[in-house]
Amino acid sequence: MPKMKTNSGAKKRFTLTGTGKIKRKHAFHSHILTKKSNKRKRGLVKTGLIDVSNHKQVLAMLGK
């Protein structure tokens, strides 16, 4: 049987934690930052977790 391929975009965007949760980065922090407040930009720096409703699909893209 052929091996299952990992989605290249997903492996660059998501990382698994030790407890099995999936970490992600926030969008809207690459350009057009002058109009965004410092508080908002600080919040976008921090990593978040993906929603439970997307967990199954992301794991499939990661080949897990």
pLDDT over threshold 90, residue 64: no
CA distance 47 to 11: 16
Question: How would you class 22 by CB atoms within 10 Å of its CB: exposed for 0-12, middle for 13-18, buried for 19 or more?
Answer: buried
pTM of the model: 0.81
For 23, phi then psi, to 5°, come to -90, 150
Q: What is the pLDDT of residue 47?
A: 96
CA dihedral 44, 49, 52, 55 (to 10 degrees): 110
Q: Which DSSP category does 51 fall into?
A: -
Over residues 5-54, the pLDDT tens digits come to 999 999 999 999 999 999 999 999 999 999 999 999 999 999 999 999 99
Domains assigned to the chain:
8-62 (4.10.410.60)
